[in-house]
Amino acid sequence: MINRLLQKTLRTKMGKGKAILLIGPRQVGKTTLINKLLSKKQHVFLNGDDGTVRELLEHINTASLKQLIGKNKVLFIDEAQRIKNIGLTLKIIVDQIKDCQVIVSGSSAFELKNYTHEPLTGRKWEYKLYPVSWEEFEQHYGYLEAEQQLECRLIYGMYPDVLNHPGEERDVIRNLTESYLYKDVFALEKLRKPEVLEKILRALAYQLGNEVSFNEVAQLVGVDKNTVQKYIDVLSKAYVIFPLSSFSRNLRNEIKTQQKIYFYDNGIRNAIIGNFNALVNRDDVGKLWENFLIAERFKYNAYHNSFAKGYFWRTVSQQEVDYVEEKQGRIKGYEIKWNPKAKVKIPKSFTTTYQTDVHKIDRSNFREFVKR
């Protein structure tokens, strides 16, 4: 079992008088991580997918909660977003049963946030778990094996179940995509047109690394702009995709309102377009590499409590920088290339205006970009 970077963080928050919330998409290892954290602790486990549990907790009072928890010091509620009034229930535990540590996990991040936001204001630690990061992967497998698997990871991604079934990656990632995307996402927002979701996802997958126009996607799919915007918002909240906004501060001709869309996992993206071909037979290697590195940088910043914000930069005259990061007022630029021998053209207007350098990240030096 791969050790997750969040495990140490969660352990330090135990017993600090607040609820611990762990959210993220299905199948990234939330339950496994918490069970490992609690392996030597006596605790109560409740699954929100169980109808009996939901019925029990929806209108429970303080006395019944104390009886349920008993002498245990930890209560773990999985898939908590399925339970009505879960925020108020958690508030009672934090406020009235102070010697009990409550830990909550949920795959529907936006539902769980809505249910717990007001009741748990000032009463929670909230963390997000993503597919396995390169840092976690390399720590588990070692430098050599991780290096040998890099191309495979660009194709099949970093979901735990995919990593645990070598040779069966295609079947695993397809099952994951079908259950995760075409069932969960629809159930979460009660979307009625699966064919529209599929078309929008395909359009975004093929435009990977390019600026996305809602109007263009709408015309391509045959729906209105608002529908595209709604579906993209849902997919972002469900941790399928994430946006990268354009960076603009000073130059008059900078692109100011555009965004690019990336996938949290390469395997999900490739399953959507049905392409698991080896890199040597693909014409989108650069896009896969860019998506992989930006997603990994996103995980890196999240797990190491960085306040860095990521962007891309481009001008109307087509000068561009693939990835720009702003942290505590400092700006850094990165050009992403798969081939170490590839040359990059660094825009002087960017380096001069923002008094910074642009670093080339490629196959030979990417580790310094995605891990400590």
Number of H helices, E strands in the chain: 18, 11
Please check whether residue 42 lies inside any domain of the structure: yes
CB 270 within 8 A of CB 155: yes
143 — pLDDT class (breaks 50, 70, 90):
very high
**Same domain? 155 vs 100:** no
> What are the tens digits of pLDDT across the range 319-358?
999 999 999 999 999 999 999 999 999 999 999 999 999 9
C-alpha dihedral sign at 152, 156, 160, 163: negative
pLDDT of residue 296: 98
Average pLDDT over residues 210-224: 93
> What are the tens digits of pLDDT across the range 151-175?
999 999 999 999 999 999 999 999 9
**Same domain? 225 vs 284:** yes
What end-to-end distance do the CA atoms of the chain give, in Å? 21
Please check whether residue 266 lies inside any domain of the structure: yes
pLDDT of residue 162: 97
What is the domain-level CATH number for residue 86? 3.40.50.300
**Same domain? 275 vs 326:** yes
**Range 288-324 burial, b when 16+ CB lie within 10 A, else e:** bbbbbbbbbbbbbbbbeeeebebbbbbbeeebbbbbb
Q: Is the pLDDT of residue 110 over 60?
A: no
Total domain count for the chain? 2
pLDDT of residue 133: 98
> What are the tens digits of pLDDT across the range 57-100?
988 999 999 999 999 999 999 988 888 888 989 999 999 999 99
The percent of residues in the chain predicted with pLDDT above 90, rounded, is 77
Average pLDDT over residues 282-302: 97
What predicted TM-score, i.e. pTM, was given to this entire model? Answer: 0.93
**Same domain? 95 vs 157:** no
**Same domain? 354 vs 224:** yes
Q: Is the pLDDT of residue 262 over 90?
A: yes
pLDDT of residue 118: 81
**Same domain? 14 vs 162:** no
309-314 and 259-263 strand pairing? unpaired
Q: Which residue has the higher pLDDT, 157 or 193?
A: 157
**Same domain? 237 vs 361:** yes
Domain hosting 58: range is 6-128
3-state secondary structure of 109: helix
Please check whether residue 137 lies inside any domain of the structure: no
pLDDT of residue 325: 97
